[in-house]
Amino acid sequence: MIQDELIRVAWERFINHRQIEAGSIRTEIVRSWLRCEQQGVDYRSGGSSVIVNGKELEALLARNAEIIDASRPFMHNLYELMKNSGFAVILVDRDGFVIEVIGDSVVLESHRGIQYVNGVKWTEDLVGTTAISLVLLGSGPIQVSGYEHYCQKHQDWACSAAPLTDAAGNLLGVLSVTGRTENVHCHTLGMVVSAAAAINNYLAVKKTQQELEQTASIHSTIVNKVSDGLLMIDAKGIVTFVNPTGAKILNINAAEALGKHISTLVDFRPVVLRVLETGQGYTDKEFVIETKRGILHFIKSAIPLKNSKGELEGVIDIFREIKRIRQLVTKMVGATAQFSFEDIVGNSPAMKECVRLAKIAANSAATVLIQGESGTGKELIAQAIHNASLRSEGPFIAINCGALPRNLVESELFGYEDGAFTGAKQGGRPGKFELAHGGTIFLDEIGEMPLDIQVKLLRVLQEKRITRVGGHRSLEIDVRVIAATNRDVADEVKEGNFRHDLYYRLNVLPIYVPPLRERLEDIPPLIDYLLKKMCHQLDVDDKHFSDDALARIMAHEWPGNVRELENVVERAVNICENIEIGSDYLPRTVGEKSETTGWSQLSLRDAEKKIIKETLHNTRGNISHAAKLLGIGRNTLYSKLRDYAITVPKENEMFTN
């Protein structure tokens, strides 16, 4: 009581004279009084002027729902210890708003004058010195009693408060017990601190549990959603886990598989059991397994699980279907078709017929043979067919048969097994036909393919299966074949350079791509297209050719076809700085006519007619030989013979067929 009297005297001296006797009042109380004075707090009051209600109160309580739910049981326990003793238990959030109040009706009614209700803000600048306001300011657990309160309306009360914090020590709220000064015990603050500690522990445990559940959920999502199969077995071969992808690949029920031996679930001897026998795992190893429902082709990894003593406790088996690996490979190497029919430039009758046949081929699954001179755009036609077909989502694999060394053609096309030949990559390698599974393989320069490989290609086309070099197991493939050549394959068959049975198998839908000299009317739109393309790539203004440059271009025979024209246009755009490209920027050979031939005054039509006649004369009327020298197909030559009314000696049997 003497101490209370000393505090009363000190408070009155401070209020009336702004004086504090050293040592008479706790430092944190003095500092609070000074702040209250500076902030203009009315010492005769004690009620807060800030209170939220309605939707604001609902939002406040919703925002603090977690801490309210965690604290409520402990608040009730604390209240039970002091029930009917004139106490109230108050919970305040980190911003100082009251969010939960539990107490005797008598004490709550007596507090109505200072608004001890949900939604009221209980901070020092509003209600003066209190245990709650000091804890909010970081004082730690504290008890404030009687005249230690700055405001008179609080001086009949004593309050004990302790902070609620997270694991990092950040303030979450304040727990407080308030009662009349005559009822407060020295152990009240200890009970509040204990309850606050219990709440803090509960919140920490709950957060840890939430984090563990979140981590487990993430792990479960990853394992269940990955496109790889995942299987776990114990040391006895009993399945302890299988993800949905793995169950689908193995054709088993994931839930029913748990607790069963792996060998009872599949209709083949599981490879993973070998790991249990040897204790040795492997990474990205290829397996081809025969089952009752067909061939399972995997890339597998097996990870042995061992305890601290090195004893084998189980195996994690990760497996991927080979078709997924193929898809990844084709994406990484860019095995896709870039061009469509919209990219084909030309309105000449010959080009229209070519496109018409190509569109028919796109709607068919039959093999296609594209014939035409080098540089005419045979691969462009092949890509357009692929992109307009039902296989457009699959890979487009192009391979130049003429560019492959003879001894590597078979392994490139059909792949090879480990150790198939000297220098073979360890583990073997799939061939282009395997990589093209589900899509299209474009065999360019098919006429260059060796006869022995032609035999194997014919078998693949007939059986839809391939066997790797050095292997014995055949693999089923689903591939559409488009072949192309600049040779007259029919003549090659007659001369014994190409198998007739393969020719008939390939030539189901023949397409002829005309050379540029047979479609001169397509040159102007081709030039426009190429100029725009090159200027865009170089990021320069659009350019155009002068009239004299165009005349030279139109007079040229273009033995290199569209590829040669593209090179000429690209060169001109790069070296000419002007908008108009003059003839000086064209290669000297473009449009040049030899003065020694006596043809300088001939039109292009007359010159072509003269060349055909001379070639037929030199070949003694051999159509096939003449067509080869002219670089055109026999059908084209026949068409030109009719067009130019060129007669051929009847005694040549080639013309009587």
Regarding whether 124 and 102 lie in a shared domain, the answer is yes
Rg (C-alpha) for the chain, rounded Å, is 45
Q: Is residue 180 part of a domain?
A: yes
Regarding whether 570 and 475 lie in a shared domain, the answer is no
What per-residue confidence (pLDDT) applies to 626?
79
Q: pTM value? A: 0.54
Regarding whether 360 and 278 lie in a shared domain, the answer is no
Average pLDDT on 15-24 reads 82
Regarding whether 247 and 107 lie in a shared domain, the answer is no
Average pLDDT on 137-163 reads 93
pLDDT single digits (tens) 543-577? 999 988 898 898 888 888 999 999 999 999 999 98
Q: Is residue 591 part of a domain?
A: no
What is the distance between the alpha carbons of residues 462 and 444, in angstroms, rounded to a whole number?
20
Domain of residue 344, residue span:
333-512
Look at residues 176, 207, 238 and tell me which one is the last residue of a structural domain: 207
Regarding whether 651 and 565 lie in a shared domain, the answer is no
Q: Is residue 596 part of a domain?
A: no
pLDDT single digits (tens) 322-357? 766 666 666 655 567 889 999 999 889 999 999 999
Burial class (CB in 10 A: 0-12, 13-18, 19+), 637: buried
Band of pLDDT at residue 426, cut at 50, 70 and 90: low
What per-residue confidence (pLDDT) applies to 657?
33
What is the distance between the alpha carbons of residues 354 and 381, in angstroms, rounded to a whole number?
9
Question: Which CATH number does the domain housing residue 248 bear?
Answer: 3.30.450.20
Regarding whether 234 and 353 lie in a shared domain, the answer is no
What is the count of structural domains for the chain? 5
Regarding whether 306 and 273 lie in a shared domain, the answer is yes
> Beta strands 98-103 and 87-93: pairing type?
antiparallel
Q: Is the pLDDT assigned to residue 653 strictly greater than 50?
A: no
* Mean pLDDT rounded to a whole number for the chain: 85
Band of pLDDT at residue 200, cut at 50, 70 and 90: very high
Q: Is residue 131 part of a domain?
A: yes
Regarding whether 353 and 307 lie in a shared domain, the answer is no
Regarding whether 550 and 437 lie in a shared domain, the answer is no
Question: Which CATH number does the domain housing residue 637 bear?
Answer: 1.10.10.60
Question: Which CATH number does the domain housing residue 473 bear?
Answer: 3.40.50.300
What is the distance between the alpha carbons of residues 560 and 571, in angstroms, rounded to a whole number?
15
> Beta strands 509-512 and 368-371: pairing type?
parallel
What per-residue confidence (pLDDT) applies to 597?
43
Question: Which CATH number does the domain housing residue 41 bear?
Answer: 3.30.450.40
> Beta strands 440-444 and 480-485: pairing type?
parallel
Amino acid at 103: G
According to DSSP, the residues that pair with 230 across neighbouring strands are 318
Q: Is residue 420 part of a domain?
A: yes
Average pLDDT on 255-273 reads 86
Regarding whether 387 and 283 lie in a shared domain, the answer is no
Regarding whether 115 and 47 lie in a shared domain, the answer is yes
Question: Which CATH number does the domain housing residue 558 bear?
Answer: 1.10.8.60
Q: Is residue 306 part of a domain?
A: yes
pLDDT single digits (tens) 603-622? 566 777 778 887 787 677 78
pLDDT single digits (tens) 372-383? 998 999 999 999
What is the distance between the alpha carbons of residues 96 and 130, in angstroms, rounded to a whole number?
12
Regarding whether 529 and 473 lie in a shared domain, the answer is no
- Interacting residues of 194 by C-beta distance below 8 A, sequence separation 6+: none
Q: Is residue 340 part of a domain?
A: yes
Look at residues 321, 349, 365 and tell me which one is the last residue of a structural domain: 321
| CA geometry: angle 200, 205, 209, nearest 5 deg | 150
What is the distance between the alpha carbons of residues 237 and 270, in angstroms, rounded to a whole number?
10
Look at residues 300, 321, 342 and tell me which one is the last residue of a structural domain: 321
What per-residue confidence (pLDDT) applies to 651?
41
What per-residue confidence (pLDDT) applies to 42?
92
Q: Is residue 366 part of a domain?
A: yes
